[in-house]
Chains A and B, each alone.
Chain A
Amino acid sequence: MENTTRLPSQDREKRHISAKNKYGWFFISFPVIILAVFMLYPIISSLFLSTMSSRGMIQKFVGLRNYVKLLKDTVFLQALKNTFIFFIIQVPIMLFLALIIASLLNDKSIKFRGLFRTGIFLPAVTSLVTYALLFKMMFSLDGLINKFLLAIHLISEPIPWLMDPFWAKITVMIAMTWRWTGYNMIFYLSGLQNIPDELYEAAEIDGANKLRQFRFITVPMLKPIILFTAITSTIGTLQLFDEPMSFSSGGVTAATIGPGNSLLTMSVYIYNLCFKYMPNFGYAATVAYVIVILVAILAIIQFKLAGDKR
């Protein structure tokens, strides 16, 4: 309003920008205020905590010594390694599969699309308790999977799925892919709705086959959503907790997370440091900040790869 005394041409421009600016702040104010209260304070508080070593309520200041301790902590290093193996192998497979299923389902000539969509999405809502229980049974030494593989002579000896460090990881990756593919598919489907059919029709007329259409229309048009799912999956995997916890629970006395700690992830380690072991919240916060740093680095790499300027 104070702008009215300025030159008319400048004035209009300025007013437009400042009005735009005002609305910009208006739109983001609600989420930012809520986050400032419920996220920023806890984050700063736990950053402070990461300079402490604690045994429950007994705390002492150790500065950066927790970070030094991390480098010597073979359990942490193993958790770091395990987490990265999950990340590098499982995330690409899952996202690719989700993209394929989504584009298959976006084909209007397919019958029962609603049923397929619901069915393939179901794993995301199936309770963790159920699916962990079932997967553990199916992947036991004399479980359904081994029986099937033996019957078709693909293997001659049962695979020790959850008893061998290598196979345990494979089992968890299969389970994760099973659970989250349909979920990521939903985001792709919603993104595909924003791509006009005419694009595909035009490509069809130009003689481009389905593969080329997928490569040159679907993937580039979905880029923002693909980037979105890639980053959320990165965060999800680096904070992976549910599957390792429930696939390794051995009742009252399970000592390690999977055979030889092969399923131990950083988030599970944080949990153990807080609640299973002598509660060392300071050290746990340190591990948490390592995750934050790693995710940030990976997110930046992904933004760069996607060619997004921001």
Chain B
Amino acid sequence: MRKSLKKILQYAFLIAAFVVAVFPFYWMVVGATNSAVEIVKGKITFGNQLGKNFKTLFAEYDVARIFFNSCKVAILTVIGQLIISSMGGYGFELFASKARDKIYGIVMMTMMVPFAALMIPLFRLIVRFNLLDSHLGLILTSLTSVFLIFFFRQSFKSFPKEIIQAARVDGAGEFRIFYSIVVPSMKATYAAAAIYSFMTSWNAYMWPLIVLQSNQKKTMQLLISTMSSAYFPEYGVIMAAILISTLPMIIIFFGLQSYFVQGITGSLKQ
């Protein structure tokens, strides 16, 4: 009896959290089917403007190309960040030494500097490297995520060192140990990091704004920002654009979350 009451409470809490979390998203979907005036007035039921909103969106903006730009930048950034940052986190944790800990401290400090303060010198660098108005400029500058180095290091802390020792005794090389033992068994960690990495890259706004110059190179966030800056924004069309720009993140999350389930403990069960 008490047990089932507990279960009910548990579900009630989760359902409440779920509803609160999902409602704005639902509203966004509804928004894409309504006109701007209806949205501003607070309508929360489905309307009949969906087709019109999407038509306007695709007629007025080169959405396909902009979407592709966002995908390109995000995917390449995620790959780079996962490889480089996890190596960094691994190196700092498993090969900790005085000198490297000092470097780690400096690396961590850089995370604390607000980006706005770095923008002008960073912009000069980009111009000198001839990377202005290129996606490469965006990818290169964000190839390493200090946040992820930190995250990976914290996660490697709980990785059982005995496995690594055992592999060393077997004569496996250090890089091989990392590549074929550590990486595969930290799937949940990599999945979480990939979600973070994709999200930040996909949502990046200030820096792409400065680096990218031409319409051809724009990313989704720049498009949405532009659209919503009107004296009278076309909210229905904006919602349609946001819907398109949110989908990849939901797909990525939905796809990667299975890795949480079949994490280390999952494999133990079989």
List the interface of chain A (C-beta within 8 A of B).
19-21, 23-28, 30-32, 34-35, 37-43, 45-46, 49, 101, 104-105, 107, 109-110, 113-127, 129-131, 133-135, 137, 143-144, 178, 182, 186-187, 189-191, 193-197, 210, 221, 224-225, 227-228, 231-232, 235, 238-239, 251-252, 266-267, 270-271, 274, 281, 284-285, 288-289, 291-292, 295-296, 299, 310
Which interface residue of B84, B199, B250, B266 has the most chain A CB atoms within 10 A? Answer: B84
Overall SS of chain A's interface: helix
Task: Tell me the bound Cα distance from A119 to B24 in angstroms.
Answer: 11
29 contacts between A and B (CB under 8 A): A20-B174, A26-B91, A28-B87, A28-B92, A30-B84, A32-B103, A35-B144, A42-B125, A43-B113, A45-B120, A110-B10, A120-B17, A120-B18, A121-B21, A121-B253, A123-B24, A134-B28, A190-B192, A193-B263, A193-B265, A194-B263, A196-B265, A231-B150, A232-B150, A238-B112, A270-B117, A291-B112, A291-B113, A295-B112
Please determine whether B87 and A31 come into contact, CB atoms closer than 8 angstroms. yes
Please determine whether B253 and A42 come into contact, CB atoms closer than 8 angstroms. no
Check if B171 is an interface residue, CB within 8 A of chain A. no
Q: Which residues of chain B (70-95) have a CB below 8 Å from chain A?
A: 84-85, 87-88, 90-92, 94-95
Please determine whether B114 and A178 come into contact, CB atoms closer than 8 angstroms. no
Q: Which residue of chain B has its CB nearest to the CB of A115?
A: B18
Which 10 pairs from chain A and chain B are nearest by CB?
A27-B91, A24-B95, A193-B263, A288-B117, A31-B88, A45-B121, A42-B121, A28-B91, A190-B192, A42-B118
Please determine whether B21 and A117 come into contact, CB atoms closer than 8 angstroms. no
Check if B155 is an interface residue, CB within 8 A of chain A. yes
Please determine whether B260 and A117 come into contact, CB atoms closer than 8 angstroms. yes
Q: Which residue of chain A has its CB nearest to the CB of B177?
A: A23
Task: Tell me the bound Cα distance from A126 to B18 in angstroms.
Answer: 14
CB neighbours of B151 from chain A (8 A): 187, 228
Q: For the A-B complex with A38-B144, A274-B119 known, give 4 more contacts whose Cβ atoms are closer than 8 Å.
A: A26-B175, A130-B28, A194-B159, A196-B268
Please determine whether A224 and B155 come into contact, CB atoms closer than 8 angstroms. yes
Chain B 107-128 interface mask (CB, 8 Å, partner A; 1/0): 1111111101111111001000
B4: min CB distance to chain A, Å: 12
List the interface of chain B (C-beta within 8 A of A).
6-7, 10-11, 13-14, 17-18, 20-22, 24-25, 27-28, 31, 39, 42, 84-85, 87-88, 90-92, 94-97, 100-101, 103-104, 107-114, 116-122, 125, 140-141, 143-144, 146-147, 149-151, 154-155, 157-159, 174-175, 178, 188-189, 191-192, 195-196, 199, 224-225, 228, 231, 235, 238-239, 242, 245-246, 249-250, 253-254, 257-258, 260-261, 263-266, 268-269
Task: Tell me the bound Cα distance from A284 to B26 in angstroms.
Answer: 39
CB neighbours of A26 from chain B (8 A): 91, 174-175
Which interface residue of A121, A137, A190 has the most chain B CB atoms within 10 A? Answer: A190
Task: Tell me the bound Cα distance from A123 to B203 in angstroms.
Answer: 13
Task: Tell me the bound Cα distance from A267 to B266 in angstroms.
Answer: 43
Q: Which residue of chain B has its CB nearest to the CB of A285?
A: B117
Please determine whether A281 and B28 come into contact, CB atoms closer than 8 angstroms. no
Please determine whether B91 and A194 come into contact, CB atoms closer than 8 angstroms. no
